[in-house]
């Protein structure tokens, strides 16, 4: 059964098209510590929800199942022990110290509640695999995870010179329903910190709630959304995504015409110093023979120092195919883009995307936060309306 499961995961990952809002090359950049404004948000996000959420609950403690003389240093692989606990119990407390897991990852079953303590850490053992999922939430429902801290292996690869692959995920959510993740911290993954989608996305995720995650120094994207409906991401802080294109803080990018992007809501995201995009929306693969309705709303986005604060990626023509225009709306409201090489990049929609609406968006270009409005914006507003972009 395990071999079948991981075979399915491998097929799903390898069927992902190369994310099309970058050039596919590796990039080198300089990681930065977040600014004071972002640091204040980090302090809020780092506040553990463990004590409040776990109070009065009868928890099964993983530490009670570890072998005698167990290590608290995160240097001994306890994957099989942890998996056995997760398979048999639904309400589980992780140890209050680092614990090593291998690239099989941990499969989460339906109706699970997982609680991480202040010093809990899932640390991935050095791997040579091009794909993995440290927390694997696939084809399940009714899962809540509180305060997980996850560290990937991008700086501890078995062969550091081998740069193949981009699918090592901290938290993988696929074809699942009613999934909540609170106060996650995910760093150093070979691919994305959090991935919401999977394969060709025939069955979309539904009712996914990600609350106040901290995502830093992941190699491809901080958060990717490829398929889902009723997805809410609240107050994420996503920084220093670099190493493998698209190198974005948040990438909303369907895999195929059978994907779903409906009722995607991102509130108060803070993106910082990502190699390419703070947030990118790339809808090309969703356009096709099937009708698709898109509803994406991003409210109060702040980006600092990413190359582009916000990007709407070009539509890439599809040869010899009859395609249908996407319906719906993309709304960007009250965004602030600071110190970018280019605050926003708006590609050619070929009149196949839904309207893209900007409300009260501002551009700052100096460290004193003096509002410097793009002098060409008024001209662009008239021109871009023809391309499906609207500014208010």
Sketch the domain layout of the chain as residue ranges: 33-391
Name which of 25-34, 80-89, 168-177, 243-252 the model is least confident about. 25-34
Cα 257 to the center of its chain, rounded Å? 21
Cα 137 to the center of its chain, rounded Å? 14
Q: Is residue 122 classed as helix, strand or coil in its secondary structure?
A: strand
Query: Given this model, what pLDDT does residue 370 score?
Result: 53
Q: Is residue 152 classed as helix, strand or coil in its secondary structure?
A: coil
Query: Given this model, what pLDDT does residue 160 score?
Result: 87
Instruction: Report whether 253 contacts 280 (CB < 8 A).
Output: yes
E strands, 102-166, are: 106-107, 113-115, 121-124, 131-138, 141-146, 149-151
pLDDT digits (tens, 9 = 90+) for 220-256: 999 999 999 999 999 999 999 999 999 999 999 999 9
Separation of alpha carbons 327 and 272, rounded Å: 31
Strands of the sheet containing 167-174, edge to edge, are: 106-107, 131-138, 167-174, 194-196, 221-225, 248-252, 277-281, 308-312, 342-346
b/e per residue, 373-383, with b = 16+ CB within 10 A? Answer: ebeeeeeeeee
Could you tell me which of 204, 209, 250 has the C-alpha nearest to residue 227? 204
Q: Which CATH architecture has domain 33-391?
A: 3 Solenoid (2.160)
Say how many C-beta atoms besides its own lie within 10 A of residue 2's C-beta.
Answer: 9
Residue that wins the pLDDT comparison between 187 and 21: 187
Instruction: Report whether 314 contacts 345 (CB < 8 A).
Output: no
């Amino acid at each position: 059964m395990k071999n079948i499961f991981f075979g399915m995961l491998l097929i799903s990952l390898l069927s992902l098209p190369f994310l099309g809002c970058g050039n596919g090359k590796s990039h080198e950049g300089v990681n930065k510590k977040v600014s004071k404004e972002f640091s204040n948000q980090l302090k809020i996000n780092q506040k553990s929800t463990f004590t409040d959420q776990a109070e009065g609950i009868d928890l099964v403690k993983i530490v009670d199942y570890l072998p005698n003389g167990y290590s608290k240093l995160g240097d001994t692989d306890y994957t099989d022990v942890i998996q056995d606990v997760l398979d048999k119990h639904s309400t589980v407390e992780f140890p209050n110290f680092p614990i090593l897991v291998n690239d099989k990852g941990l499969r989460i079953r339906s109706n699970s509640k997982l609680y991480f303590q202040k010093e809990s850490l899932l640390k991935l053992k050095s791997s040579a695999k091009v794909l993995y999922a440290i927390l694997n939430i696939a084809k399940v429902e009714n899962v809540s995870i509180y305060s997980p801290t996850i560290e990937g292996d991008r700086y501890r690869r078995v062969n550091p010179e081998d740069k193949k692959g981009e699918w090592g995920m901290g938290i993988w959510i696929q074809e699942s329903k009613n999934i909540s993740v609170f106060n996650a911290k995910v760093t150093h993954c070979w691919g994305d910190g959090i991935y919401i989608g999977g394969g060709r996305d025939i069955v979309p995720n539904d009712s996914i709630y990600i609350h106040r995650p901290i995502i830093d120094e992941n190699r491809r994207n901080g958060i990717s959304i490829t398929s889902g409906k009723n997805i809410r991401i609240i107050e994420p802080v996503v920084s220093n995504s670099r190493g493998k294109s698209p190198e974005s803080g948040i990438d909303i990018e369907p895999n195929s015409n059978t994907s779903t992007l409906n009722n995607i809501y991102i509130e108060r995201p803070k993106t910082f110093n990502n190699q390419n995009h703070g947030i990118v929306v790339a809808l090309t693969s969703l356009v096709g023979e099937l009708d698709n309705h898109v509803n994406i709303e991003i409210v109060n986005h702040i980006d600092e120092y990413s190359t582009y604060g916000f990007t709407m990626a070009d539509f890439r023509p599809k040869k010899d195919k009859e395609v249908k225009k996407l319906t719906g709306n993309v709304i960007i409201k009250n965004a602030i883009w600071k110190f970018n090489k280019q605050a926003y990049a708006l590609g050619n929609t070929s009149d196949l995307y839904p309207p893209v609406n900007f409300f009260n968006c501002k551009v700052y270009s100096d460290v004193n936060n003096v509002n410097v409005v793009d002098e060409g914006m008024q001209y662009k507003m008239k021109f871009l309306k023809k391309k499906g972009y609207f500014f208010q």
